[in-house]
Structure 1
Amino acid sequence: MSLRLATPTLRSTARLLTRQQPMGLVKIHSSVPSQVNAVTTPPTDRLHGSYHWDIERGVSLALVPIIGAQLTMGASPVTDTLLGVVLPLHLHIGFDACITDYFNSRKAPILGKVMTATLYASTAATLVGCYQFNTNDIGITEFLARVWTA
């Protein structure tokens, strides 16, 4: 007998629970304009996402045969040039990921821009330095061989 009396209460409670919206979707303040909580998506960029990942993996994988060729063939202008381009790009991608993770525009808007500009300037300076070292001096491979045997 008591089960029959409790059944309508359980049904009405279940109906109320199924009609209730989750708290994330409930509009709490009706006086606040809805544009404040509007979500905007950033524009798509070809250098981020899957293209960025493909470039990063390609540069990382390119280092293996370049270093292997330098170890087997010795000093060569071709391998010195490839190493002078691929290694700074590999370092740039790694440091850019660190800056993006720890100094993003939401947490550190000014410092993130300064660090990104510094990264681009230092990468450009490193590329110029590798070019100068390979053309006007002994080259990266010969330098590493001399440091290794010293």
Structure 2
Amino acid sequence: MLAVSRLALRSSVRPALRSVVASPVMISRRGLFEGYGLPQPPGNIVGTVNDAVPTPAPDAVHGSYHWTFERLVAVSLVPLTVLPVATGTLSPAVDALFGGLLIAHCITGFQSCITDYIPTRKFPRGHIFCNWLLYIGSAGALYGVYKIETEEEGISGAVKKIWNA
């Protein structure tokens, strides 16, 4: 009798658990913007395989100058981070420059993520929307740095307060 009830229980529970377990897996496989993108051609080939790739127009903002600017900002953050710690002084000019360059560094990093993961050819509206969100958030961050610099002791002073707390 016990063997029959185990068999009946096993045969009735497995299909129920299978549907519960399988549903999150199916949900996680779908993309976040799946219904919002433009349909892509098979293999992302427009035209024929032998057509030349269109060359983008030269633009100083999105070329090697842009890459050089990103590297200069990243490299200049290192001495601006170490300078207040090494000297022990709080300079408002250095602190404001550090805050501005830190935000510029974050903007360029997030722009690269948006360009890579939300491409214009597949998500034209999503790409524009995310860039606008980045610009609005960056403006808010710049305003926050301004308020910290004018009303408090600056970013270095805030870090010093947190460190000594």
Report the counterpart of residue 76 of structure 1 in structure 2. Answer: 91
Report the counterpart of residue 150 of structure 2 in structure 1. Answer: 135
Secondary structure at 2:60 match in 1: coil
Once the two structures are superposed, residues 48-72 of structure 1 have per-residue CA deviations (whole angstroms, 9 ceiling, x without a partner) of 1211110000000010110111111
- Using the aligned pairs only, state the percent identity: 38
Report the counterpart of residue 93 of structure 1 in structure 2. Answer: 108
Distance across 1 between alignment mates of 2:124 and 2:106? 23
Give matches, 1:19-30, under 5 Å: 24-25=49-50
Count of paired positions? 117
Distance across 2 between alignment mates of 1:71 and 1:143? 13
Q: Gapped runs of 5+ residues in structure 2?
A: 1-47
Which among 39, 56, 71 is matched to residue 57 of structure 1? 71
Change (3 A) 1:89 1:66: same
Distance across 2 between alignment mates of 1:103 and 1:24? 25
Report the counterpart of residue 8 of structure 1 in structure 2. Answer: none
Report the counterpart of residue 117 of structure 1 in structure 2. Answer: 132
Q: Gapped runs of 5+ residues in structure 1?
A: 1-22, 26-36
Once the two structures are superposed, residues 15-35 of structure 1 have per-residue CA deviations (whole angstroms, 9 ceiling, x without a partner) of xxxxxxxx944xxxxxxxxxx
TM-score (norm 2): 0.66
Distance across 2 between alignment mates of 1:148 and 1:111? 40
